Structure 1
Amino acid sequence: MQRRGVFHARRTDAVLLLVAIVWGSSYLAAKTATYALPVLMVLFVRYAISAIACLALVAARSRKGRYTRDEVRVGALLGTTQAAVLVLETYGVAHTSAANAGLIISLTIVLTPLLDRTAGTGRLPPRFFAATGVCLLAVALLMSGSGFHTPRIGDLLMLAAAVVRAAHVVLVGRLTKGRVVRPLQLTAVQTVVGSALFVLPAASGMSALTQVDAAGWGRLVYLALFCSVFAFLAQTWAVQNSSASRASLLLGTEPVWAVAVGIGLGGEEFTALACLGAALMVTGTYWGQNIERVHRSTSNEEIPCRTTAPTSV
């Protein structure tokens, strides 16, 4: 029995780590996808493939009462905010390195509690703001590249994406609290909404799809099925079978994998300043995450974990 428990725990950890790896790799996949197609076309195809997969899963798993009113209403609103995040992220990663994109977007980890506290749920300890300061310094170093200069548009877009993504996460918590919403159905509604939002802007470039080669389609399918549908469902299952702190620790390795994939597979280079910024970003986000988790625990509040629909590129 004990061996079975250990095996189950290791399997859960492996799934969470795989989700972090998949999300970390999504930045390079999205960046290379924008070489062949315009950003809005990439987003439409990604959403459309995801929607087809989610709708098929819902149809296969639930023949009666497939969607509740709450799932449709909440999903429609969250689908809009999620689309805003993905627009900023995809445009951002198209104009910066995949490694930088993955690191800057991890600022969401410390921005989310700051935005969540505006509802009067308690005052964060001063150490949390120190961790936030470390993350902001890290962003400045990452934006500097080989020396201090005017920030690149891609880095600024990723910074904006981190803010909007944090607001999206807070909104997910508030809209789903006290409501019975199933993750798969909620994700399906969001993907349908996203597809609808991007179909008209992408319509003029539909002919470009005929020019996409097998590798290009492979990246689009990977973004849709693995980085969106699989990652979310796998994450939801794993979080339900693990502690919030352990899940957060493993999922928090996403920026590390973004750097590894960007350098290892994308051939990206890191300067000394960028390396320092990467180290500070990982340190600051983990530090802030731990402070916030302990603060919630001692305040007898619910300990959150990243269980929202993925918004990684």
Structure 2
Amino acid sequence: MSKQVQVHMALFLVALIYGSNYSIAKEVMPTYVGPFGLIVLRVVSAAIFFGLFSRLITKEKIVGWPDNLRSIACGVTGVAINQLCFFGGLNLTAPINAALLMVISPVSVLIFSTLILKERIGWRKVTGIVIACLGTMLLISSSHNANTTGNWLGDLLIILNATSFGLYLVLVKPLMAKYNAITVVSRIFTVGAILVVPFGFNQVLSPAYTTFPFSIWMAIVFMIVAVTIMAYLLNTWALKYANPSLVGIYIYLQPVLAIAIAVGFGKDVFTVQKGVYALLIFCGVYLVSRTRQNMQPKEQAP
């Protein structure tokens, strides 16, 4: 199996996990756990896991002020701001609004890649993003109904989350060229955990955990293991072999997969119209993936 296929498989799995998260998270918050309390459970659990895992497989450390400062910036943008804004926004607005506004992230990736990494923007990449964005907007608007009401503050938080995540994808790319993925992820989650605990400490202590139904515990486990640990690992690994723009474009698959999951559980109906919109999104992903991607990681720094 080629490295390119492996990268696309990893990114597809991430999109599937994130697509599921929109509905699953709403089942847990705010009825059982507040949004910031849920973030603390996720981020602290992931920080402990990655910290122990990194000690088992590598003794590598991030060295030098530039790389250490960049890793802190990744923890701020990729974990703290990203998680606080996403769950705070999703708690206030509807999942359909959150999915729509997340399409801003690949645009921010493209802008930050140009400004920071000096990545060249070609007509094919721009065309792919425009087509995927159009397909996503049409797909989500076709699924919109009177029961999916949004909230302006929640929508604003989702926009901040999408922008922050786009910046994170660009900032973390140089670190992935020099260090092991586990080393990088361990550092950014340590930074993120320190920052999110003050926001969600009280919400972690307040729930009556012994009264939680089994399904809610499974939802929490899914958000910790899959949405937090697996998704970040796969995304970070993919960045060793692909440009941030390709990673960002897979955000457009999230609403497609979210609807597919809903159809599987009998909560939505698949139509030819939705199939056409989904095809637009896949065409956009194809155009971006056909741009020159360096599928070989750079040499490790001595």
User: Is this a same-fold pair by TM over 0.5?
Assistant: yes
* 1:184 alignment partner in structure 2: 182
Per-residue deviation, residues 91-141 of structure 1 (Å, max 9, x unmatched): 222234435534542442344223423455445439826953872695488
Amino acid paired to 2:257 = W
Report deviation, 1:44. Answer: 0.8
User: Could you say what secondary structure the match of 1:54 adopts?
Assistant: helix
Relative distance call for 1:243 and 1:170 in structure 2 (3 A) is closer
Q: Distance in 2 between matches of 1:134 and 1:200?
A: 38
Which of 81, 103, 110 matches 2:77? 81
- 8 Å CA contact 2:133–2:252 kept in 1: the answer is no
Which of 20, 28, 43 matches 2:23? 28
What is the correspondence of 1:104-123 to structure 2 with a 5 Å cutoff?
104-118=101-115, 121-123=119-121
- 8 Å CA contact 1:100–1:259 kept in 2: the answer is no
Relative distance call for 1:222 and 1:257 in structure 2 (3 A) is same
Which of 25, 37, 40 matches 2:33? 37
Q: Distance in 1 between matches of 2:132 and 2:242?
A: 29
Relative distance call for 1:199 and 1:172 in structure 2 (3 A) is same
* 1:91 alignment partner in structure 2: 88
- 8 Å CA contact 1:244–1:304 kept in 2: the answer is no
Q: Distance in 2 between matches of 1:227 and 1:208?
A: 23
Report deviation, 1:167. Answer: 2.3
Per-residue deviation, residues 65-116 of structure 1 (Å, max 9, x unmatched): 4454466433221110122122222122223443553454244234422342
Query: Unaligned regions of 5+ residues in structure 2, if any?
Result: 297-302
Report deviation, 1:170. Answer: 2.2
Which of 190, 203, 206 matches 1:208? 206
- 8 Å CA contact 1:29–1:219 kept in 2: the answer is yes
Relative distance call for 1:198 and 1:245 in structure 2 (3 A) is closer
Amino acid paired to 2:82 = V
Amino acid paired to 1:254 = Q
- 8 Å CA contact 1:22–1:226 kept in 2: the answer is yes
TM-score when scaled to structure 1?
0.69
* 1:52 alignment partner in structure 2: 48
Q: Distance in 1 between matches of 2:46 and 2:126?
A: 36
Amino acid paired to 1:101 = A
Report deviation, 1:253. Answer: 3.5
TM-score when scaled to structure 2?
0.71
Percent of counterpart pairs with the same letter? 19
Query: What RMSD over aligned residues (CA atoms) do the two structures have, in Å?
Result: 4.5
* 2:126 alignment partner in structure 1: 128
What is the correspondence of 1:162-311 to structure 2 with a 5 Å cutoff?
162-173=162-173, 175-176=174-175, 180-211=178-209, 213=212, 214-234=214-234, 253-262=253-262, 264-265=264-265, 280=277, 282=278, 285-294=281-290, 296-297=291-292, 302-303=293-294
Query: Unaligned regions of 5+ residues in structure 1, if any?
Result: 306-313
* 1:311 alignment partner in structure 2: none
Amino acid paired to 1:176 = L
Relative distance call for 1:279 and 1:113 in structure 2 (3 A) is farther
User: Could you say what secondary structure the match of 2:206 adopts?
Assistant: helix
Q: Distance in 1 between matches of 2:136 and 2:167?
A: 21
Relative distance call for 1:279 and 1:164 in structure 2 (3 A) is farther
Amino acid paired to 1:188 = S
Relative distance call for 1:210 and 1:45 in structure 2 (3 A) is same
* Aligned pairs, number: 287
Per-residue deviation, residues 255-310 of structure 1 (Å, max 9, x unmatched): 32222335655x7668x9xx979965x5565444444444x43xxxx5589xxxxx
- 8 Å CA contact 1:16–1:251 kept in 2: the answer is no
Which of 101, 106, 112 matches 2:98? 101
- 8 Å CA contact 1:138–1:277 kept in 2: the answer is no
Relative distance call for 1:248 and 1:286 in structure 2 (3 A) is farther
Q: Distance in 1 between matches of 2:113 and 2:81?
A: 19
- 8 Å CA contact 1:262–1:268 kept in 2: the answer is yes
Report deviation, 1:43. Answer: 0.7
Q: Distance in 1 between matches of 2:25 and 2:150?
A: 21
Q: Distance in 2 between matches of 1:79 and 1:96?
A: 25
User: Could you say what secondary structure the match of 1:205 adopts?
Assistant: helix
